[in-house]
Amino acid sequence: MEIVCDTSFLMVLCYEPVKNLNALESKFGKLIWLIHPETVDELIQLEKAAGVKRSKIANLSLEIIKNQIEKGDFRYLDREELAKFETKIANLSVDSVLLNLSHQKKKPLATIDKNLMRRALKKGVDVITLKNNKIIYVHSRLGSNLNHP
């Protein structure tokens, strides 16, 4: 199952031990975390401008992404692929870009941002989030993405 991943979730996924990943994989198949170029840009920006701890976590996240792409657990979304789904709207936030992509590709969105989570569920996008470092799958009431390829 492919999952669109936002920056905050990705940082936690790479930094904290996450429980329940095996249960999610046994239910939905191999998990492939989709990494948007703007998410990488945000991590690079955090690496340069954030405080010491967040900067180190952003750096670690970038290293783990690179290693996991080679293993096939993560996948960069290339700009040509994204061009099919994205329309350029001036000043669109990264969160909005990720939400629209998840909706159009019918893929769950991984986030720990409560506001983004609410927006996704309201739009009909399933959400993967964390609670006490345990991964949680939240189905949208408008219709689960799981019923689609």
Q: What's the confidence (pLDDT) of residue 20? A: 86
Q: What's the confidence (pLDDT) of residue 65? A: 93
Q: What's the confidence (pLDDT) of residue 55? A: 94
Please write down the HEC assignment for all residues of the chain: CEEEECHHHHHHHHHCCCECHHHHHHHHCCCEEEECHHHHHHHHHHHHHCCHHHHHHHHHHHHHHHHHHHHCCEEECCHHHHHCCCCCCCCCCHHHHHHHHHHHHCCCEECCCHHHHHHHHHHCCCEEEEECCEEEEECCCCCCHHHCC
Structural domains for the chain: 10-141 (3.40.50.1010)
99-125 pLDDT, tens digit per residue, is: 988 998 899 999 999 999 999 999 999
pTM: 0.85
Q: What's the confidence (pLDDT) of residue 147? A: 43
Q: What's the confidence (pLDDT) of residue 80? A: 74
Question: What mean pLDDT comes out for the span 72-91?
Answer: 73
